[in-house]
Amino acid sequence: MFVKHGMNSGFSSLASSAVLRRQQFLIRSLNGYSVSDKIRMEAVKCLSGGASLEANAESVLRAIAPSLDPTRHKGQAGKIAVVGGCREYTGAPYFAAISALKIGADLSHVFCTEGAATVIKSYSPELIVHPILEESYNISGVNDEGKRDISKKILSEFDKWMERFDCLVVGPGLGRDPFLLECVSKIMTRARQSNVPIVVDGDGLFLVTNSIELVSGYRLAVLTPNVNEYKRLVQKVLGCDVNDQNTHGELLSLSKQIGGVTILRKGKSDLISDGEKVQSVSIYGSPRRCGGQGDILSGSVAVFLSWARQCNSAAERESTISRTNPTVLGCIAGSALLRKAAALAFEHKKRSTLTTDIIEHLGQSLEAISPVS
Ligand SMILES: NC(=O)C1=CN([C@@H]2O[C@H](COP(=O)(O)OP(=O)(O)OC[C@H]3O[C@@H](n4cnc5c(N)ncnc54)[C@H](O)[C@@H]3O)[C@@H](O)[C@H]2O)[C@@H](O)CC1
Ligand SMILES: Nc1ncnc2c1ncn2[C@@H]1O[C@H](COP(=O)(O)OP(=O)(O)OP(=O)(O)O)[C@@H](O)[C@H]1O
Ligand SMILES: [Mg+2]
C-alpha cells in the first residue's frame, strides 16, 4: 500500500513538473499573458486572417499539441486509420501511417488488400494491418451476388473498428480498381454517418472527384490535392480549367461549392481553405520532389486535426474560442511540420533525400516547434 502510494505521488510530481516545464517554455516564448489565453489568441488570430494570408503555423502547432501527461492513457493522443495499399502501392499507406505514429498518435491502422498487408507489416511491427480489401482481379470468377457478399463482409470487418478511430485517411496507395473503390465509398459513407473526420488523398481524390457527394457538405472532410488532383477537381466541380491568376478566389469557390469541405492545395506554398478564407503555409521546405511527401502530409493532418478537435472542445467549454475549424488547424500544422522536416532532411541528404529521410526528421522538427519540456 505504502509503495503504491509512493509511486502515485512520484507520478503526480513527475506529471506536474513536466507540465510546469512546458508552461514555462510557453511563457518564455509568448511574453507574458496567461499561457492558455495567449496560445488560443494566437490560434484565433491564425483563423481570423488579418492582413496576411500566411498562417502563424508554428503557433497553431503549439496550441494544439497535447502535453505528455502521465495520467493520459493509450489512445488519447490519437487513433488513426489509413485506407490504402493495393497490388501496386505499399509505400504510400506505410508513409502516412508511420508518420502519424512518429508525430505522436498512439495507434495507427492500415486497411488494405491481402497482398499489400504482408508487405506493409514487414516494413514495421508498429502498424496494425487489416488485409480486408479486394481488387477485381482477385475475384474475377465471382458473380454479382458473390461480389455483394464480399462487399458486405468488408464493410462489417471495417465496422468493428470504425468507432474507435479519431480520423481516417482515405487514398494513399489505394489504386483505382472499380470494385475496391465501390467498397471504399461505403466505408466513407459509414465514417461520415459516425462523424469520423476523413482526410482524402491520392486515389481517394480520384474516387471523390467522380463521386463528390461522398464528401459534399461534410465539414469534417479534408481534401489534400496535388497539382494533378487539384486540376481534376476544379474541372469536375467548377467546370473550368485552373486559373493561376485567381488562385485564392478559385480555392474559396471550390471549397464553397463542395459545401465547406476543407481543401489543402499542395504546391510551392500550401493553400488551405474551408470556404471562409484562405490561409497559406510557405515555410521553406525542400527542393527535392521525391514521391511520398504528400503521404506524410495526409498522415500528419489526420493527427493534428484530431488534436485540434480535442483542443476545441476544451476551449468551447471555456467559451474562449467561438469559431475555430479544427480541420483548417490540422492542415496548417501538418503542412508546417512536413516542410520543416523536409528542410532538415535535405540539409543532411541533399540530392539523395528520400521520403524515409523526411520521416526520420519529423520528431526533431516537432520538438523544435513544440518541445516536450
Ligand atoms: N511509394 C508509393 O507507394 C507511392 C505511391 N503513391 C500513390 O500513387 C498513386 C497515384 O498518385 P500520383 O501522385 O502519382 O497521381 P497523379 O495523378 O498526381 O500523378 C500522375 C502523374 O503526374 C505527374 N505529376 C506529378 N506531379 C506533377 C506536377 N507537379 N506537374 C506535372 N506533372 C506531375 C507524375 O509524373 C505522375 O506520374 C496514389 O495512390 C498515391 O498515393 C504516391 O503517393 C507516391 C509514393
Ligand atoms: N514546388 C514546391 N515547392 C516547395 N514545396 C512543395 C512544392 N510542391 C510540393 N511541395 C511540398 O511537398 C508536399 C507534398 O506535395 P506533392 O505535390 O509532392 O504531393 P503529392 O504529389 O501528393 O505527393 P505523393 O508523392 O506523396 O503522392 C506539399 O505539402 C508541399 O509542402
Ligand atoms: Mg499524393
Output 106 or 31, whichever has higher pLDDT. Answer: 106
pLDDT, mean of residues 235-260: 97
Residue list, annotated binding site for (6S)-NADPHX: 173, 226-232, 295
Q: 371 to each of 8, 49, 103, 205, 261, how far by Cα in Å?
A: 25, 26, 12, 34, 31
State which ligand 2 atom lies nearest to the alpha carbon of 355.
Answer: 26
Would residue 201 count as lying in a domain? yes
pLDDT, mean of residues 195-208: 98
* Cα end-to-end distance, the chain, whole Å: 31
Question: What is the percentage of the chain residues whose pLDDT exceeds 90?
Answer: 78
pLDDT category at 7 given cuts 50, 70, 90 is: very low
291 lines ligand 2 (CB under 6 A): yes
User: Which one-letter DSSP state was computed for residue 352?
Assistant: G
Would residue 41 count as lying in a domain? no
Residues 6+ apart with CB under 8 A from 166: 78, 79, 80, 196, 197, 302, 306, 309
293 lines ligand 2 (CB under 6 A): yes
To test the ligand 2 pocket, which listed residue (266, 295, 335, 361) has its Cβ within 8 A of the most ligand atoms? 266
pLDDT category at 18 given cuts 50, 70, 90 is: very low
Would residue 186 count as lying in a domain? yes
Look up residue 10 and give its amino acid: G
- Per the structure, the count of domains in the chain is 1
Task: Indicate which residue's Cα is closest to atom 3 of ligand 1.
Answer: 91
Residues 6+ apart with CB under 8 A from 248: 53, 271, 273, 278
Distance CA 246, CA 238 (A): 13
Look up residue 151 and give its amino acid: S
To test the ligand 2 pocket, which listed residue (98, 170, 226, 227) has its Cβ within 8 A of the most ligand atoms? 226
Distance 239 CA to ligand 2 centre (A): 25
Residue list, annotated binding site for ATP: 266-270, 285-294
CB count in 10 Å sphere of residue 121: 17
Distance 175 CA to ligand 1 centre (A): 11
pLDDT category at 34 given cuts 50, 70, 90 is: very low
For the chain, give the mean pLDDT.
87
Q: In this structure, are residues 262 and 255 in contact, taking their beta carbons and an 8 Å threshold?
A: yes
Output 29 or 369, whichever has higher pLDDT. Answer: 369
Output 282 or 2, whichever has higher pLDDT. Answer: 282
pLDDT, mean of residues 264-284: 96
Distance CA 284, CA 269 (A): 9
State which ligand 2 atom lies nearest to the alpha carbon of 225.
Answer: 22
Distance 97 CA to ligand 3 centre (A): 14
Would residue 251 count as lying in a domain? yes
Would residue 308 count as lying in a domain? yes
Output 323 or 104, whichever has higher pLDDT. Answer: 104
Would residue 65 count as lying in a domain? no
Would residue 311 count as lying in a domain? yes
Residue written as grid cell 454479382: 144
Residues 6+ apart with CB under 8 A from 301: 169, 199, 222, 224, 264, 330, 331, 333, 334, 335
Distance CA 141, CA 189 (A): 28
State which ligand 1 atom lies nearest to the alpha carbon of 229.
Answer: 18
Distance 231 CA to ligand 3 centre (A): 13
Please give all residues whose beta carbon lies within 6 A of any atom in ligand 1, as ranges. Answer: 89, 91-92, 172-174, 202-203, 226-229, 291-292, 294-295
pLDDT of residue 364: 97
**Residue closest to 337 by CA, chosen among 48, 38, 104:** 104
State which ligand 2 atom lies nearest to the alpha carbon of 229.
Answer: 22
70 phi and psi, to 5 degrees? -65, -10
Q: In this structure, are residues 87 and 175 in contact, taking their beta carbons and an 8 Å threshold?
A: yes
Range of the domain at 277: 79-369
Q: At what angle do helices 202-210 and 178-193 cross, to 10 degrees?
A: 80
**Least confident residue range of 72-81, 195-204, 241-250:** 72-81
pLDDT of residue 314: 62
Ligand nearest to the CA of 207: 1
Give the model confidence (pLDDT) of 120-173 as tens digits.
999 999 999 999 999 999 999 999 999 999 999 999 999 999 999 999 999 999
Distance CA 3, CA 228 (A): 61
Q: Flag whether pLDDT at 25 surpasses 50.
A: no
CATH number of the CATH domain containing 156 = 3.40.1190.20
Would residue 4 count as lying in a domain? no
**Residue closest to 95 by CA, chosen among 354, 368, 373, 332:** 354
